Amino acid sequence: MNLTLKIWRQKDAKSPGKMVTYPISNIEGHMSFLEMMDILNDELIEKGEEPVAFDHDCREGICGMCSMYINGEAHGPDRKVTTCQLHMRMFKDGETIHIEPFRANSFPVLKDLMVDRSAFDRIQQAGGYISVNTSGNTQDANSLPIPKADADLAMDAATCIGCGACVATCKNSSAMLFVSAKVSQYALLPQGQVEANDRVLNMVNQMDIEGFGNCTNTGACEVECPKGISLDNIARMNRELMKAKV
C-alpha cells in the first residue's frame, strides 16, 4: 500500500503545532499501525529529520500508552482495539490518514503525538486502591464468597487500561467512563466496601480539580473505548456518589 500521512508535529508543549504531510510506501496489511509509524521514523532518521514522537510500551493492548487520534477517531477506525493492535488492512491503498494526539485541556500535548495523562494518575492516587491490614490477622480474600455475576462485572470494569480514549472522544472531555470503571471494580466487591464512600468522593473531586468536563450521556466514549467499558459503570458511580454524600 502507498499512503499519505498527515501528522501533527509540535516541537514541545509551548510551541504551536501544525499538520505535516509524509508519503509512505510498501506498507503491508498485516503490519500494525505502530509498525507503520516505526517505518516512517526510520526513513525520517535516515534523512536526518526529527522522528515523530509517540507513546507506546506493551504493543499488545495492555498498557494504554498508544494514544493517537486517527482519521477523527481515538485508536482509529477499528472497534475494541488500541492503536498498537490496529492493522493497516483497515486502510485502502492511496488513502490519506490524519494522525493527531488526543485532544483535551487536561491532557496537554508534550511533543508531536505525546500527551501528558498524569491527571489520570492523580485521580487513581485519590482513591483507586484498597488498604490492606497487615496485622497478621488479615482475612484471606479467597474466603469471601462473591456472586459470579458481581465478579464478572468487576472484572469487566477492571479491564480499563487508562488509555484516555474516552476523554479524547467526548465532546465535553469528560473522564467519567474511566473514573467510573475504577470506582466500579471495587464497588462491586466486598473488599472495596470499607473505603467505598471516601473513594468515590475523593476520585470524583480530583476529576473535577483536573478540569475534566461533565457527562451528558452521549455515549461516544463507550463506542470508542478499546476495552468496551460500559456506560452502566457511570450510572453505578453516580449511585455510589449519591450514597456517599447522603
Judged by the rule CB under 6 A, the positions of this chain that interact with ligand SF4 are 160-166, 177-178, 181, 225-227, 229
Shortest CB 159 distance to ligand FES, Å: 12
Neighbouring-strand partners of residue 8: 19
Q: Which option in ligand FES, ligand SF4, none does residue 82 bind, with CB closer than 5 to 8 A by kind?
A: ligand FES
Shortest CB 110 distance to ligand FES, Å: 17
Residue 132 φ/ψ, nearest 5 degrees: -115, 130
Nearer to ligand FES, 81 or 220 (CB): 81
Beta strand pairing status for 18-24 and 3-9?
Answer: antiparallel
Nearer to ligand SF4, 3 or 166 (CB): 166
Q: Which option in ligand FES, ligand SF4, none does residue 65 bind, with CB closer than 5 to 8 A by kind?
A: ligand FES
223 vs 73: CA distance, rounded Å: 10
Q: Which residues bind ligand FES (CB under 6 A)?
A: 56-59, 61-66, 82-84
Shortest CB 180 distance to ligand SF4, Å: 8
223 vs 240: CA distance, rounded Å: 24
Q: Which option in ligand SF4, ligand FES, none does residue 58 bind, with CB closer than 5 to 8 A by kind?
A: ligand FES
Nearer to ligand SF4, 127 or 226 (CB): 226
Shortest CB 176 distance to ligand FES, Å: 21
Neighbouring-strand partners of residue 21: 6
Q: Which option in ligand SF4, ligand FES, none does residue 180 bind, with CB closer than 5 to 8 A by kind?
A: none
Nearest CA-CA partner of 112 in 185, 50, 53, 37: 53
The answer for residues whose C-beta is within 8 angstroms of residue 121's C-beta and 6 or more apart is none
Nearer to ligand FES, 49 or 57 (CB): 57
Shortest CB 121 distance to ligand FES, Å: 16
CA atoms within 13 A on the CB side of 9: 11
